[in-house]
Amino acid sequence: MQSPINTQVIDTILGKPAKNVNVVLETQADNSEWKELARSSTNTDGKIEQLLPENFPLKAGFYSLIFDTKSYYQAMGLETFYPVVPIIIEIKNQTEQTHITLSLSPYGYSTHKGR
C-alpha cells in the first residue's frame, strides 16, 4: 500500500520520468506556518510512492509539495527559469489517496491530480 500522498515527475524535454528530483512535503499548521512532514527524491520511474508512512494520520487541510528543479537541471548541466516548483493542495477527504503528477521542462511546468 502507498502513502496517502505520492507524486511522479515527468521530464517533458527528455520524454521520460525525472529521477533524483528532491521533494519536500509540508503541511500548514493552525498558526498558518508551514511544517515539514517529509522529504525524499524521485526514483528511476520519477515516482515517490512512500512519501509518508502507510498509516500516517492525514488530516484535512493544506499541503505543499516543493520540487527542487534547480538541482535536477544543474545535474544535467542545464539552467531552469523555475528553480523551485511549489504545489499547494487542499486535502478534504483524509481517506482518499492523493497522487500529484508534475510535468516539467526548464521553462515551464504543469501539474494535475492523478489516481
pTM of the model: 0.93
Q: For 34-85, how does the pLDDT look when each residue is reduced to its tens digit (9 = 90+)? A: 999 999 999 999 999 888 877 778 889 999 999 999 999 999 999 999 999 9
The CATH superfamily of 5-114 is Transthyretin/hydroxyisourate hydrolase domain (2.60.40.180)
Q: Would you kindly state where each structural domain of the chain is located, as residue ranges?
A: 5-114
d(CA 31, CA 53): 25
d(CA 85, CA 14): 18
Task: Give me the chain's average pLDDT, please.
Answer: 92
Residues, the chain: 115
pLDDT at 101 over 80: yes
Task: Give yes or no for a contact between 42 and 23, defined as CB atoms under 8 angstroms apart.
Answer: yes
Confidence of residue 1 (pLDDT cuts 50, 70, 90): low
